[in-house]
Amino acid sequence: MDTRKLTAFVDLADTKNYSQTAENLFSTQATISKQIIALEKEWHISLFNRAHRKVALTTAGKAVLPYAKKILTEEHQLEAKIAEQHKQSEQNLTIKGIPSISQYQAFKIIAEFTKAHPEINLKFSEAETDQLDNALINNEADIIFTRLFEQADKQLDVLINETDYFVILMPRFNPLASSASLNLEMLKNESFLMLDSATNLFNPVSEILKQADINPKITYQGRRINIILEMLNRGIGVSVMMRKSFNLDNFPNVVAIPLQPKEYSHLAFVKLHDKHSQALDTFGNLPQPLFKPLNIPFRNT
């Protein structure tokens, strides 16, 4: 059955105006008229009274209209289901990660996954931490790779891949640079270079500074780790960062000293619990040795 004719019939039954129906369907009055006449011949009934330039449904037209509407509704549902299945069969997978992802094992996992599954169309990009949660909720990402300081919401599935811990970065010529470890109280007279609130490090760092009764003098606050490293390399300030989030190869005048007591974060792949696709399930079924049990508890547990 030609559903274009059914669409013309249903729309004309609503508008009772050939000109309006033609406009609604991006067609012409002549085409709409031909489609209605074709249906009437096919069904051997009259659908409309056309007396005195007025259009009104006949008794037969009123009787078959609900069934025509049902067929069109089911056609739309079928098209939506076909589109959904087609999307799944294409196996698209969108992953977004924190800017420092290249410093973590996750980057290697994603690269190896791409090589092992060429049938999956992977789209990978970086985003600041404050954008990652929204990317999941707004369906802009299937999976995010992020840093967790607290237990994730129950609506999320979490695959923990790695742990990290805070260190103090400072110029090699700072009198404290030879220390085996440092506590924050020893830094109360230093100026701080800090990542801002767009990352999820600003609040945890601010919290541990507050616990150490330090009201920091902030010389730099921004998103660029390399700017902080360059400033440190030139002898400016100190910074609190996660140990694996940076690379000092090009910054010979910077040292990283463990913070005591240690403060940890967990690096994890995260997805919505109720979201599934063939590509997502394939990624979720990666060998379990790639992921780690939670041996170090979250800060709020």
Per-residue pLDDT of the chain (301 residues; tens, 9 = 90+): 789 999 999 999 999 999 999 999 999 999 999 999 999 999 999 999 988 778 999 999 999 999 999 999 999 999 888 887 776 666 889 999 988 888 888 898 899 899 988 888 899 998 887 788 788 888 899 999 988 887 777 788 888 878 899 999 999 999 999 999 999 999 999 999 998 877 778 888 998 999 999 999 999 999 889 999 999 999 999 999 999 889 999 999 999 999 999 888 888 898 888 888 888 888 877 765 454 444 444 443 3
Task: Classify 247 as helix, strand or coil.
Answer: coil
- The answer to whether residues 111 and 171 belong to one domain is no
- The domain tally of the chain equals 3
Task: Classify 61 as helix, strand or coil.
Answer: helix
Task: Work out whether strand 143-148 and strand 264-272 pair parallel, antiparallel, or are unpaired.
Answer: antiparallel
The one-letter amino acid at 55: V
Number of C-beta neighbours around residue 251 at 10 A: 19
Cα gap 206→220, rounded to integer Å:
14
Q: Which residue segment(s) compose the domain that 198 sits in?
A: 163-264
Read off the tokens for 133. Answer: 């949660």
- The answer to whether residues 153 and 21 belong to one domain is no
- The answer to whether residues 155 and 168 belong to one domain is no
Bond prior to 175 in cis (omega within 30° of 0) = no
* Helix or strand holding residue 37 (H, E): helix 29-43
38: CATH:
1.10.10.10
Q: What dihedral angle (degrees, nearest 10) is formed by the CA atoms of 275, 277, 282, 288? A: 10
- The answer to whether residues 66 and 94 belong to one domain is no
DSSP state of 182: B
Q: Give a three-class secondary structure readout of 111-129.
A: HHHHHHCCCCEEEEEECCH
Structural domain contains residue 300? no
pTM: 0.61
Structural domain contains residue 250? yes
Residues 75/23, Cβ–Cβ less than 8 Å: no
Q: Which of 74, 101, 130 is the last residue of a domain?
A: 74
